[in-house]
């Protein structure tokens, strides 16, 4: 009986693996054509000025719907796109879409869209030509784009990453460290990084109201960032108590479901128009 059970286990186990493997293959096969087939959407999640509650920008977040696979979340398809190199094609699409949004918003001086860059994007040359091409279309692009990179994108090859970040900074782009606190960048590394913004990961922000430990972490992170001359964004703000707490700590910018989930362009634009009328 024991042998039988073991056999069943082996069978189920390998069946599970096959399923995962087939799903990956399926995703990669369809992801190749996602941009051409118009299966991608770029949602916008408002970024809010903490003191005023005003929308001062948005983070662009990718969504993918495929006829056969249905909705596939970015947490599932982005890592696969990174492993396969397909990410470069997706990022190029995100850049182009963001520029078309910026043109339609016709935004003033301090409005900016944040785009997520993967390590591969950051270190590849394709990104340079995409940016050069889009700058011909929109010369003031550098004033309206913030490029978000994670700590882990930098630790893979810090020297190369820093060189690229310097290139972007030299062209006048803002650079943000995303998911701050979940990687393992040292203070020494933070000091070397040519970035302008730090985004505290939502793992520390969501529990703020009830967790004294997270309060200490967030408070000292804001202080450190300000001392390094960085703007601080808190992501994952889900209630008004957290907003008030972060306001008291002088956190600069907020993002989270309390203000809005990621929404389609038209809804975002309507929100902006509504605010400028008040």
DSSP 34-82: HTTTT-EEEEEEEEEETTT--EEEEEEEEEEEETTTEEE-HHHHHHHHH
- Pick one of ligand C2E, Mg ion, none as the site partner of residue 249 (Cβ within 5 to 8 A by kind): none
The distance of closest approach from Cβ of residue 116 to Mg ion in the complex, given in angstroms and rounded to an integer, is 5
Among 185, 256, 265, 268, binds ligand C2E (CB under 6 A): 256
In the bound complex, what is the minimum distance in angstroms from residue 90's beta carbon to Mg ion? 14
Candidate ranges 67-75, 95-103, 123-131, 155-163; the one touching ligand C2E (CB under 6 A): 67-75
Q: Which is nearer to ligand C2E, 147 or 230 (CB)?
A: 147
Site string (163-182) toward Mg ion, x via CB under 5 A: ---------------xx---
Q: Are 223 and 13 in contact (CB under 8 A)?
A: no
**Which of 144, 149, 236, 253 is the binder for ligand C2E (CB under 6 A)?**
236
Binding status of residue 266 toward ligand C2E by CB under 6 A:
no
Range list of β-strands (E), the chain: 40-49, 55-66, 70-72, 112-116, 145-150, 174-180, 197-200, 231-235, 253-255
* 30: its two tokens: 């369809």
C-alpha 148/C-alpha 96 separation (Å) is: 16
Decide: is 190 part of the binding site for ligand C2E (CB under 6 A).
Answer: no
Interacting positions 134-163 with Mg ion (CB under 5 A): 148
Rounded least distance, CB 89 to ligand C2E, Å? 11
> Please, what is the minimum distance in Å from the beta carbon of residue 12 to ligand C2E?
30
Among the listed residues 166, 268, 181, 163, the one whose alpha carbon sits nearest the alpha carbon of residue 232: 181
Among 26, 74, 107, 269, binds ligand C2E (CB under 6 A): 74
Question: CB of 234: closest distance to ligand C2E in angstroms?
Answer: 10
Question: Cα–Cα distances in Å, from 244 out to 33, 52, 180, 240, 252?
Answer: 45, 11, 21, 6, 12
Q: Which residues of 69-81 are buried (b: 16+ CB within 10 A; e: fewer)?
A: beebeeeebbebb
Q: What is the nearest approach in angstroms of Mg ion to the Cβ of residue 260?
A: 15
- Residues 85 and 97: beta-carbon distance below 8 Å: no
46 is a contact residue toward ligand C2E (CB under 6 A) = no
Give the residue among 161, 182, 76 at the shortest CA–CA distance from 118. Answer: 161
Site residues, ligand C2E (CB under 6 A): 45, 61-62, 73-75, 78, 94, 116, 118, 178-179, 202, 235-238, 255-257, 262
Site residues, Mg ion (CB under 5 A): 116, 148, 178-179
């Amino acid at each position: 009986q024991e042998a039988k059970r073991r056999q069943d286990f082996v069978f189920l186990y390998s069946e599970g693996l096959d399923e995962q493997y087939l799903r990956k293959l399926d995703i990669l096969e369809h992801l190749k054509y996602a941009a051409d087939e118009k299966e991608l959407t770029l949602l916008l999640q408002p970024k809010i000025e903490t003191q005023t509650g005003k929308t001062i920008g948005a983070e662009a977040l990718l969504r993918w719907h495929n006829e056969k696979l249905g909705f596939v979340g970015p947490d599932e398809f982005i890592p696969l796109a990174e492993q396969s190199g397909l990410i470069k094609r997706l990022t190029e699409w995100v850049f182009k879409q963001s520029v078309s949004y910026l043109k339609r918003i016709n935004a003033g001086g301090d409005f900016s869209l944040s785009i997520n860059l993967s390590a591969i994007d950051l270190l590849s040359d394709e990104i340079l030509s995409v940016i050069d091409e889009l700058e011909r279309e929109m010369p003031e692009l550098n004033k309206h784009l913030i490029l978000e990179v994670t700590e882990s994108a930098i630790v893979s090859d810090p020297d190369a990453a820093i060189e690229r970040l310097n290139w972007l900074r030299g062209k006048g782009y803002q650079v943000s460290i995303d998911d701050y606190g979940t990687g393992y960048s040292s203070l020494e590394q933070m000091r070397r990084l040519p970035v302008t913004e730090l985004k505290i990961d939502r793992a520390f922000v969501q529990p703020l109201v009830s967790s004294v430990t997270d309060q200490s972490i967030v408070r000292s992170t804001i202080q450190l960032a300000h001392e390094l001359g960085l703007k601080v964004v808190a992501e994952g703000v889900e209630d008004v108590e957290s907003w008030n707490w972060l306001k008291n700590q002088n956190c600069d910018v907020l993002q989270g479901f309390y203000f809005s989930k990621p929404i389609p362009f038209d809804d975002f634009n309507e929100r902006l128009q509504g605010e400028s009328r008040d």
